[in-house]
């Protein structure tokens, strides 16, 4: 082979090696430089130019210029490191950051060594530079996230625990000490249940069941504090499974102190139970007093009626007849009041039973209006009645329906000034019958309407027309109507009048009448 051919092959081989090296520099994002201390010259590889963001035609290799691109503190450190490497003849490394915030390569790691001649003199310094910008930023972001995670877990008021697949605690937040005064050794490997209040062991053992993927298990119970008292804890656990195999890996437990909330719940429950007990006691008392109250009152009413009717002759003085009438009227008023109170007590106690039968509503309305016509006329009022031509039959408790009508009409008479009008209208629609009592009375302010229908609530738009009473009338009406499965509706405009409408089903549901 001729020398010329051999030279050509060598050139081709060198060119190929340079191409391979250039490809490696591109792929690995590195470059190298060499400073010749004998000739005082610098060499940059193509990869080095790429790291610097330069083209070879833009700048000749220059070590001093390269140092100026670094942060001042990095420049001083690099000079010290290279000087030490020349003295010690040992490899060196350093990390630098560019001064230009717009440079695509911000952080560079350099590893190098010195070239020593046969006479022991350092003749060159060689460095290989790596672009670690993305790697360092990722590490910084990860460290920042870890710091935030540690901050959140350590400062959180909740106790955060991480268990392995053997139920060993891998991590416990500081809230364990703050909330319970305990450390990990006191609660792991079954010792946890030794701290549970004996009455709450069943609730705590709900945590024995490992929740399926995507689900949580929650339990609330008391744990004994290191100081001896108990703390209400709400614990929520979540299991972590391997995404590929489905095998159980870890259990995360988050516990929070709910003592204050739990004590409020217990106090609220106790207060509710006390109120319910008091209400039941009141209802039992009123129900049991029915006979004791009505028996003497019936005697008073009966005897005064005999006196009023002069059954056994004159009383001797017109005054006595007037007094007898007053006693009779007062007795009737008191009997009505007692009846309303007893009926309300029975309803609240759930003891009021409906005696369901076929009732003629038109006849019942006529009877109720007839009973109150004199009272309306004495108050200067006129009552008009609009009824279907044919008897309207429906299934209900006859006494309850009459009581509803009397209460509605009594209210209308009570709160309608002289010269007013009261209209009673009966209609049927969609298997329901409605009864409306409309008056031209003082009316009710809109903001007061929600109060009506509650026991012992009274509203009068004009204090000059306020009348005595217990406020049980509408409450009893609502209760009796709803007992039949019906509804009550009140519409009123102050100064114009009030309309109360009750609706009954033609055939009440069995559950409503039960």
pLDDT tens-digit series, residues 161-170:
888 888 888 8
Domains 16-133 and 353-513 agree in fold: no
User: Which of the residue ranges 72-76, 238-242, 504-508 would you say has the lowest mean pLDDT?
Assistant: 504-508
Q: Strands, DSSP E only, in 342-392? A: 356-360, 382-386
Which residues make Cβ contacts (< 8 Å) with residue 176, sequence separation at least 6? 159, 161, 182, 183, 184, 187
Which residues make Cβ contacts (< 8 Å) with residue 167, sequence separation at least 6? 188, 189, 251
Cα separation, 420 vs 4, in Å, equals 134
Q: What is the mean pLDDT of residues 246-254?
A: 90
For residue 184, count other CB atoms closer than 10 A to its CB. 16
The b-or-e profile of 272-301 (16+ CB within 10 A means b, else e) is eeeeeeeeeeebeebbeebeebeeeeeeeb
Average pLDDT over the chain reads 83
The third-level CATH classification (topology) of the domain covering 156-257 is: Beta-Lactamase (3.30.450)
Residue pair 432/481 in contact by the 8 Å Cβ criterion: no
Among 355, 309, 356, which residue's Cα sits nearest to residue 328? 309
Cα separation, 68 vs 47, in Å, equals 19
Per cent of the chain over pLDDT 70 is 84
Among 383, 364, 366, 453, which residue's Cα sits nearest to residue 423? 383
Among 383, 382, 390, 384, which residue's Cα sits nearest to residue 362? 390
Domains of the chain: which residue ranges? 16-133, 156-257, 269-335, 353-513
Q: Return the bridge partners of 235, or none.
A: 219, 255
The CATH number of domain 16-133 is 3.30.450.20: yes
pLDDT tens track for 268-320: 999 999 988 887 777 777 667 666 777 787 888 888 888 878 777 777 777 87
How far from 145 is each of 142, 247, 360, 430, CA to CA, in Å? 5, 28, 80, 67
The pTM score is: 0.43
Give the model's pLDDT for residue 464.
44
The CATH number of domain 353-513 is 2.40.37.10: no
């Amino acid at each position: 082979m001729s020398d010329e051919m051999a030279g050509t092959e060598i050139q081709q081989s060198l060119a190929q090696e340079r191409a391979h090296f250039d490809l490696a520099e591109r792929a690995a994002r590195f470059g190298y430089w060499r400073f010749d201390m004998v000739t005082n010259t610098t060499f940059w590889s193509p990869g080095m130019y790429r790291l610097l963001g330069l083209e070879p035609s833009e700048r000749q290799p220059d070590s001093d210029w390269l140092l100026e691109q670094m942060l001042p503190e990095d420049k001083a450190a690099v000079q010290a490191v290279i000087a030490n490497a020349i003295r010690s003849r040992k490899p060196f490394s350093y990390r630098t950051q560019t001064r230009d915030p717009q440079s695509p390569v911000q952080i560079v790691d350099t590893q190098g060594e010195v070239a020593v001649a046969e006479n022991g003199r350092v003749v060159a310094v060689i460095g290989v530079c790596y672009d670690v910008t993305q790697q360092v930023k990722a590490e910084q972001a990860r460290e920042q996230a870890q710091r935030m995670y540690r901050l959140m877990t350590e400062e959180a008021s909740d106790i955060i625990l991480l268990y392995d697949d053997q139920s060993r605690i891998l991590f416990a937040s500081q809230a364990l000490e703050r909330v319970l005064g305990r450390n990990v050794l006191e609660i792991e490997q079954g010792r946890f249940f030794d701290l549970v209040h004996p009455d709450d062991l069943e609730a705590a053992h709900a945590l024995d069941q490992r929740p399926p993927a995507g689900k949580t298990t929650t339990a609330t119970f008391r744990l004994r504090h290191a100081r001896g008292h108990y703390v209400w804890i709400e614990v929520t656990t979540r299991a972590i499974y391997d995404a590929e195999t489905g095998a159980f890996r870890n259990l995360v437990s988050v516990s929070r102190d709910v003592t204050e909330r739990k004590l409020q719940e217990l106090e609220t429950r106790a207060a509710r139970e006390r109120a319910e007990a008091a209400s039941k006691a009141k209802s039992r008392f009123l129900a049991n007093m029915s006979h004791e109250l009505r028996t003497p009152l019936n005697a008073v009413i009966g005897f005064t009626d005999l006196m009023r009717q002069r059954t056994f002759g004159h009383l001797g003085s017109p005054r006595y007849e007037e007094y007898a009438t007053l006693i009779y009227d007062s007795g009737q008023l008191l009997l009505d009041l007692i009846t309303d109170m007893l009926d309300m007590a029975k309803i609240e106690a759930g003891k009021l039973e409906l005696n369901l039968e076929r009732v003629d509503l038109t006849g019942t309305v006529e009877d109720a209006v007839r009973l109150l016509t004199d009272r309306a006329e004495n108050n200067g009022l006129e009552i008009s009645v609009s009824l279907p031509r044919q008897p309207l039959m429906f299934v209900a408790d006859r006494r309850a329906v009459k009581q509803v009508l009397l209460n509605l009409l009594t209210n209308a008479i009570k709160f309608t000034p002289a010269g007013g009008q009261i209209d009673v209208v009966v209609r049927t629609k969609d298997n329901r019958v409605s009864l409306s009592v409309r008056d031209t009375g003082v009316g009710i302010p809109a903001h007061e309407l929600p109060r009506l229908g509650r026991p012992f609530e009274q509203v009068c738009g004009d204090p000059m027309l306020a009348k005595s009473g217990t406020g049980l009338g509408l409450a009893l009406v609502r209760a009796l109507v709803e007992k039949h499965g019906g509804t009550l509706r009140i519409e009123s405009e102050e100064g114009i009048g009030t309309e109360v409408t009750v609706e009954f089903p033609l055939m009440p549901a069995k559950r409503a009448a039960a």
